[in-house]
């Protein structure tokens, strides 16, 4: 074993012991504040100093909150740590409820200053978006906007909430304000997303390239933007370019599970099934992301591996159930699962209809309903939903395929 590796292990052991001792000494305060645990990252995605920094920041927050349970700055920092860890490690069910609880405490504090209240509202809206509570996110975002209308981050929240609710014209207005305040990785990403929605695929790719070039290489945020760029290229049949982008991510952030999964998707689409399986399994072995399991199950289904599909389907249902129990709205995921993996379009329709009640203007919801109704041979209904899904002139390949069947 190399000395550097040995010293890293010793350092981690010392930190663990100290954390345990501190937890024992401060047990009453921790229980009182109900500070959620920082889950250990899989070793392959600790990324050296990054994980060490996260652990140190977490312990600093715990120390501050045990000294002063009303330290709102520490609470806000803790919520931001948990939000990032939910993205990195895929443990949404553990982190997002904790994030919302912490931020609600800050928001409820009558003594909190305006700036911290604004940040708490913005971060809460972001967590609500991640939990698919889009209406709630819009309400929270509007509250934050009343406190500060010259901050780019709040306009990003407003773009996302309006997009998910199908308020696309309003989303464009919010995006314009965002980029006028701060043209950066976040604002360019929103421009890219909206351009794709409106059928400007080349313009979307161009904006996403601007977003990736505006980010700091190797960070989680930049890697996510690059992943989005790769997914755009993959979606619109520029698969060789997509693979190149995913490999660039892995060069900077080895074992980034979302890039591994995306490479598997490209190989699956190009009939390189052994390679697809390899990359799907690599991503699954790193973090428990339900989408990774679904992709592997779909691959096995295409190969008629009935027993393997059945086992994965049981695991997927348990994961979906866990997400719902933690407050995550999963109607579309359930609908796709029952349609694509279980061959139960009637059951899929129930879930899709529930989501439609919540956001009838969203083109993704309408596209899925069109797909389900095609499977049910309900052509008239499918045609209506397909028309709604195409109202922004979207060039989505799946939508084009659905329309061809009508």
- Alpha carbons within 13 angstroms on the beta-carbon side of residue 219 total 11
| pLDDT at position 34 | 78
The three-class DSSP label of residue 385 is helix
| 214-252 residues labelled b (16+ CB within 10 A) or e (exposed) | bbeeeebbbbbbbbbbbbbbbbbebbebbbebbebbeee
| pLDDT at position 33 | 55
> What whole-number distance in Å separates Cα of residue 198 and Cα of residue 390?
9
> What whole-number distance in Å separates Cα of residue 80 and Cα of residue 114?
18
| pLDDT at position 23 | 41
> What whole-number distance in Å separates Cα of residue 107 and Cα of residue 122?
11
State mean pLDDT over 122-126: 98
State mean pLDDT over 237-245: 97
Q: For the chain, give percent helix, strand, coil, nearest 5.
A: 80, 0, 20
State mean pLDDT over 163-182: 98
> What whole-number distance in Å separates Cα of residue 174 and Cα of residue 164?
13
pTM over 0.75: yes
For a pLDDT cut of 90, what percent of the chain falls above it?
91
State mean pLDDT over 7-27: 43
State mean pLDDT over 206-225: 96
Among residues 314, 288, 311, 291, the alpha carbon closest in space to that of 300 is found at 311
Q: What is the mean pLDDT of the chain?
A: 92
Q: Is the pLDDT at 26 greater than 70, yes or no?
A: no
Q: Which 8-state DSSP code applies to residue 344?
A: -
CA dihedral 33, 61, 161, 401 (to 10 degrees): -110
Q: Which 8-state DSSP code applies to residue 45?
A: G
Place of tokens 């050296």: 48
| pLDDT at position 48 | 84
List pLDDT tens digits, range 273-315.
Answer: 999 999 999 999 999 999 999 999 999 999 999 999 999 999 9
State mean pLDDT over 132-156: 97
State mean pLDDT over 50-68: 96
- Taking residue 295's Cβ as centre, other Cβ atoms within 10 Å add up to 23
Vertex 268: Cα angle to 266 and 274 (nearest 5): 115
Q: Is the pLDDT at 2 greater than 90, yes or no?
A: no
């Amino acid at each position: 074993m190399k000395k550097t590796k040995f010293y890293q292990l010793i350092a981690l052991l010392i930190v663990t012991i100290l954390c345990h001792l501190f937890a024992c000494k401060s047990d009453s305060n921790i229980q009182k504040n109900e500070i959620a645990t920082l889950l250990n990252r899989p070793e392959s995605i600790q990324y050296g100093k990054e994980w060490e920094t996260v652990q140190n920041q977490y312990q600093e927050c715990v120390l501050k909150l045990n000294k002063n349970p009303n330290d709102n700055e520490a609470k806000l920092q803790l919520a931001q740590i948990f939000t990032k860890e939910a993205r990195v490690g895929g443990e949404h069910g553990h982190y997002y409820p904790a994030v919302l609880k912490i931020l609600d405490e800050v928001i409820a504090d009558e003594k909190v200053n305006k700036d911290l209240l604004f940040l708490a509202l913005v971060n809460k809206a972001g967590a609500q978006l991640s939990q698919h509570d889009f209406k709630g996110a819009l309400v929270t975002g509007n509250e934050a906007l009343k406190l500060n209308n010259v901050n780019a981050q709040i306009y990003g929240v407003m773009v996302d909430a309006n997009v998910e609710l199908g308020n696309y014209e309003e989303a464009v207005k919010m995006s314009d304000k965002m980029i006028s305040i701060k043209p950066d990785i976040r604002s360019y990403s929103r421009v890219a997303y909206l351009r794709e929605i409106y059928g400007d695929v080349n313009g979307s790719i161009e904006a996403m390239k601007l977003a990736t070039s505006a980010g700091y290489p190797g960070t989680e945020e930049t890697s996510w933007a690059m992943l989005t760029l790769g997914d755009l290229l993959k979606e619109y049949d520029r698969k060789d370019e997509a693979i190149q982008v995913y490999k660039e991510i892995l060069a900077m952030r080895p074992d980034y599970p979302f890039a591994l999964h995306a490479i598997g998707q490209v190989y699956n689409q190009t009939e390189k099934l052994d390679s697809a399986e390899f990359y799907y399994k690599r991503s699954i072995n790193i973090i428990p992301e339900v989408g990774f399991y679904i992709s592997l199950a779909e691959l096995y289904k295409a190969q008629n591996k009935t027993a393997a599909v059945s086992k994965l389907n049981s695991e997927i249902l348990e994961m979906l159930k866990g997400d719902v129990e933690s407050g995550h709205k999963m109607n579309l995921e359930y609908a796709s699962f029952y349609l694509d993996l279980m061959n139960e379009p009637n059951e899929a329709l129930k879930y899709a209809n529930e989501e439609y009640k919540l956001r009838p203007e969203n083109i993704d919801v309408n596209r899925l309903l069109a797909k389900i109704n095609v499977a049910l041979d309900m052509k008239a209904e499918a045609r209506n939903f397909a028309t709604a899904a195409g109202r922004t002139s979207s060039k989505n390949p799946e939508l084009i395929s659905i329309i061809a069947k009508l």
